[in-house]
Structure formats: structure tokens, C-alpha cells
Amino acid sequence: MSNGQWYPPEWPARIRALASGELTAVTPRRAATVMLLRDGLPDRPVPGPAVHMLRRSASMAFAGGAYAYPGGGVDPRDDDHLVRWAGPAPEDWAVRLGVATVTEAQAVVCAAVRETYEEAGVLLAGPTADTVVSDTTGADWEADREALVDRTLSFADFLDRRGLVLRSDLLGAWARWITPEFEPRRYDTWFFVAALPEGQRTRNASSEADRTVWISPADAVEGYDRGELLMMPPTVATLRALLPYGTAAEALEAAASQSLAPVLAQARMEGDALVLSWPGHEEFTKHVPPTETPGASGGDPA
């Protein structure tokens, strides 16, 4: 059985169109996604931390049916200078993330925290620089979350009205992947790790997901390898990178040593055949004969 690598059947035609000049690459939008971790699962012991994943609805135009992490694009207001902030300064984050300005760095970090709250109901913020909220349930919290989703409320105003500071120290930057040039929807995405704050609970708050699950990276990778779980290359690569760590704290500590060199797919022609690869990640290389348009399907975690 083939693995669960997400591979749309329209890619070969788009790659050939890009190579011939018939297709112009769009500029990727900056985005952030967060691998929420916790130690163990409530129903059974697992080695190492468990990670929170959501399954994108099959109706989604991009990666429908694929398992991923909470995340999304940067809101133009995420670089608001009024954002209440704790932890490493935006100047330090700019160096770590490889961006030119502190406002760019702040926007990426804010997007990571905001999207995690919007899609998973988990908020990496607290009343002070060394505390974190323990409960984000209730009608008033939900009203604020929905206002963030529909962009009638900025993240800066949300933190201000709640008297909270963003806890950037609760995040660890882990990887950076850029959507291939032949995709119509492109993202320049930073992947972060974070531990689930004590007292908080994840939930499926995303309109783009039909299921959420806590799963060990090992089980997720095995499901992908068996062809049972559909995933994009960045998801599989980051899951494999989590395998050596025994706790969420160990993974967070290891984040500082992870490379943030951008990974961008490359395509080349070998005769009439197409070769698609992700530098540094040979397992995702695809050799596509002229008449073949491969796809993938995935199911649910066991």
C-alpha cells in the first residue's frame, strides 16, 4: 500500500505549465502553525508527547482530508505595535525567524498564538509575564474568539480588553516550509511547538476541520506510512522530527536547535517524466511518468 502523501492529480499539469511560462507563480502569504504537545494520552500510555491534529474537511480546496496542525495566515493587524508582549523580544524573534524587521517577526508570532486560539481554543497568553490563563471556555470567550475569526476584533484589542499579555516564551520555532511555486494558494509557513497550558483543553473550533485528535507522533507517522492518514510533506517531516523526544518539555528545549532554512519543493523534467522533490527530504520525491497523475487518500487514526 502506498503512503498517505497528499498529491493532487493536477500538479503535473501545473508544473509543466510553470516550466513553459504559461503559469506565473503567486507570492506566498506568510502563515504560522503550532504543534500543540502534551505528555501522554488519557486512555493509554504512549511513548513521548502526544500532538494535537485536525483533519481538514474534504470539501476544502486546499489539502481537503489531510491531517494538519492549527494555523493560518498572518492578519495585517498582527504587527500592531500595541500588542501586549512577554517573553523574547520581537528583535530576538526576527533573528530566529530569519525576517528583516521586528514587525514581521511580531506578526508571525502573533499569528501562531491567535490561530491556535481560533482553531483549537487554546490561548498562549496570561495576565502577567509568568502566568497563563487556565480556562478559555464560556460564552464571552467564544464571542471574542468568533470576533477574531471574522476579523471584527484585532488580536491586540482582544489582549487589551482581557488584560492579557502574549507569552512568546511558550513557543519554540521548529521549521519553515514554503508552498511550491506551482500551487495557486501559497504560504510561507513557520512551524512552532508549544505545550498545552495546564487547565486548558483543545476543541474543534475550526470551520475548516471535521475532526480533531490527540495522537502520538509515532502513531501518526505509522498511519501515514500505511496509507491510512493523508498528510502534506511538512506535516510528516515535523512529526518525524518529534520522535526522539520523550516529553513536551524536551521538544520545546530542542526547538532552538532546529533549522529554519526554508524548504521549497523543486520540479524538473527527466525526458518526458516529471521529478518532484523537497530538498533535504528525499522520502517525498515523486517520479511521475507522462501518463500518470497519482493521488492519495487517507482515513482516520486508529
**Domain extents for the chain?**
24-258
The secondary structure element, H or E, covering residue 38 is strand 29-39
> What local confidence, expressed as pLDDT, does residue 297 receive?
39
**Residue among 61, 50, 67 nearest 4 (CA):** 67
Spell out the CATH class of 24-258.
alpha beta
Contact 48, 243 (CB under 8 A): yes
For the whole model, what pTM was predicted?
A: 0.90
CB-based burial of residue 232 (10 Å sphere; 0-12 exposed, 13-18 middle, 19+ buried)?
Answer: buried
**Residue among 272, 271, 276 nearest 294 (CA):** 276
What DSSP string describes 256-294? GGS----EE-EEEEETTEEEEE-TT-GGG-EEE-TT---
> What local confidence, expressed as pLDDT, does residue 16 receive?
82
Listed as ranges, residues in the chain with pLDDT below 70 are: 1-2, 44, 58-64, 206, 209, 291-302
Residue 231 DSSP code: B
Rg (CA), the chain: 19
> What local confidence, expressed as pLDDT, does residue 301 receive?
37
pLDDT in tens, 80-118: 778 999 999 999 999 999 999 999 999 999 999 999 999
> What local confidence, expressed as pLDDT, does residue 38 receive?
94
User: Residue 139: which residues within 8 A CB-CB, separation 6 or more?
Assistant: none
User: Residue 124: which residues within 8 A CB-CB, separation 6 or more?
Assistant: 113, 116, 117, 132, 166, 167, 170, 171, 194, 197
Contact 6, 230 (CB under 8 A): yes
> What local confidence, expressed as pLDDT, does residue 218 receive?
93
User: Angle at the Cα of 205 (from 202 to 207), degrees rounded to 5?
Assistant: 150
